[in-house]
Structure 1
């Protein structure tokens, strides 16, 4: 289980270490930094997939994602004044785990132009350092693999060994190395990061992928856009979870019954509701009903994720459905670690009553802070050196 998320130099977050529990809820006012925290998790996952550099590019590049406030010192009253930078430009992201897991951190900065050949990619960030360690805290004795500049070295039974292939500045050691003999820990962490799931782009408009009827195949993991919703729900039903599925739907939509109609291999989602002579097709469902069915498919997955993050799952839901959603989230947290970002007071309260850890973010002079966290309250954390 992840025990902490660390962020430094990202948008409104100058420095933040957030404790994580089996079910962690992040809430706060608009602009308090919830989206930045959520996106930092996505960037960490990208390091084990297509690379953090391309993920940053999709956010506008490193300059648009860096900490936007003064480099150091507490903000003073009156207009904020810029100063001459003394330290290196850095965006640092990392997480730690319990004693049975791995910790990882990545340090991104800007290239040093002196003597470098001409390039049109000079605004691309470069990876200055990476570190993978065992247990909850980065210590010299716990480091298993580290990268400084282009050089990657691995700790073995006989001490440190430098890997033969140097890395380009834009290449992550997580994405480039995966030899089960030479770097088994990197391979294991990469597999874990690729199992992280994010649901934040689920549409419910008339042309939403979740309203379509694609070719149906066994689908233990719902697509991030919900495009295979009918197949995912049918998979849950056929793999022995039919009573749980039916109960989750009845809890939010009393008396309703899910039906999946196979028409020439295309799965059509239908919902039979009390008082109606025919079931409603996916295209006819309300936004809230469709979104709730998406969360049912994601949270009752027959192949649970190690880590699952949801951004504002209460969107479009009627207040009467929030309790059913909270129950789904609590049940899912027994099989997967969850981070939920939410605006809903009702959902946050229901999850808090069920034992979830609640973090309230707030802006203090433009900087995102964890409400009530003093300088000695944050989990221990150290960044790898460049």
Structure 2
């Protein structure tokens, strides 16, 4: 389980050290930094997939993702005695991401490439990996480092000594892409595979052309697709692999008297829903956006192959407020098998989730453009140490 998430200089997250538990509810006003925190967590996952630089480019390029405020905010600025203003930069440009889990920790330091005056490259705004570290235990220290990437040099711990894996790691690639050796760097490989298994849901489609409304070729589907296109197969897989009673209970909890049926014609699976008082079932194409989205969340949260980490971004979208307590109970059921992070601004969902055992609500607020955790003092922050470039 992750117990600390650390972000520095990413959008409004000037420096945020977040304590994590089994169920984490990230909330706050519009513009408080919820989406930035979610995207930062996705960037960490993208590093294990080898897509971090490309994802930053899709966000508008590396420079546009950096903290846009002053390097330091003085007490006089906080008190309003002087205007917020920049000073002469003393530190290098850096975007830092990291986490600490029960057994491993990981951190990245990204910066701009070192540019020669006559360099003709078109990619001088792409970020470079300046430092990457994997360590054992809750806090980074030299004595617990397991893998260390410093610019193009990657080395791993070998007893009391270090073994160099590569001197030529490309600056735009993570060590996960080049140093995950099953014999010489088993910890790197293990952490990469665990991070690749993290599951994010923020693009479940319920619009009129959503794939979930159409019949689809079905196979065993223990993990719902990111857009929900294989909904029917995923629901049938849940039933056949032993969680059918939980699925039926979750649907009845939200829609009393309702039940779902999976219809197969010419190997194509489709969803039908029987509702109380109706003489025929409704096809997926006839369901409201909110009803379909709830079924998608049921398929995502009751997966027969639960991930170590499950992250939901605004799952309340399209749902009627009366469905939010049922959604909270569904999330609580998922938390029995996965660590869950929910990003939401729906007060009713946040309140319902806060009543769950092992749930914590983390509220973000802005102070002079920088996101911070409400009521967090320096003494409340988890212990954290960034790698030194």
TM bucket (normalised to shorter chain) is over 0.9
Name which of structure 1's ranges 78-87 and 123-132 shifts more when overlaid on structure 2. Answer: 78-87
Correspondence for 1:359 among 343, 346, 362: 362
Structure 1 equivalent of residue 280 of structure 2? 278
The CA RMSD over aligned residues, in Å, is 1.2
1:7 aligns with 2:11: no
Runs of 4+ in 1 over 6 A off after TM superposition: none
1:103–1:134 contact (8 Å) kept in structure 2: yes
Q: CA deviation at 1:290?
A: 0.5
User: Do structure 1's residue 84 and structure 2's residue 96 form an aligned pair?
Assistant: no
Show the counterpart of 1:95.
Answer: 99
1:104 paired residue number = 106
Shift of 1:79: 4.9
Alpha-carbon deviation of 1:279?
0.8
Q: How far, CA to CA, are the matches of 2:51 and 2:111 in structure 1?
A: 15
CA distance in 2, matches of 1:334, 1:57: 36
TM-score by length of 1: 0.97
SS in 2 for 1:48: helix
Residues in 1 aligned to 2:50 and 2:288: alpha-carbon distance in whole angstroms: 35
Match of 1:385 among 381, 385, 388: 388
Structure 1 unaligned segments of length 5 or more: list them.
Answer: none
The 10-residue stretch of structure 1 (72-81 or 342-351) with the greater mean CA deviation from structure 2: 72-81
Q: Note if contact 2:28-2:345 (Cα within 8 Å) is conserved in structure 1.
A: yes
CA deviations on 1:137-184 (whole Å, 9 max, x unpaired) are 111111100111100111012511111342111010012222111110
Q: What is the alpha-carbon distance in structure 1 between the residues aligned to residue 122 and residue 85 of structure 2?
A: 32
Contact 1:196 1:307 in 2 (8 A): yes
Residue-by-residue CA offset, 1:73-93 (whole Å, 9 max, x unaligned): 234536532333221000000
- 25-34 vs 82-91, greater mean Cα deviation: 82-91
Unaligned residue ranges in structure 2 (runs of 5+): none
**Per-residue CA distance 1:199-242 (angstroms, 9 max, x = gap):** 00112110112222211010000011111111100000111221
- Name the residue aligned to 1:301: 303
Q: Secondary structure at the match of 2:217?
A: coil
Match of 2:247 in 1: 245
SS of alignment partner, residue 322 of structure 2: helix
1 CA distance for matches of 2:119 and 2:371? 38
Cα distance 1:199–1:84, how it changes in 2: closer, same or farther (>3 A)?
same
Tell me the matched-pair count.
384
The Cα offsets for residues 107-141 of structure 1, whole Å up to 9 and x where unpaired, read as 00001112674201111010100000011111111
Tell whether the 8 Å contact from 2:70 to 2:86 is kept in structure 1 after alignment: yes
Q: Given that residues 51 and 175 in structure 1 are in contact (C-alpha distance below 8 angstroms), is that contact kept between their aligned partners in structure 2?
A: no
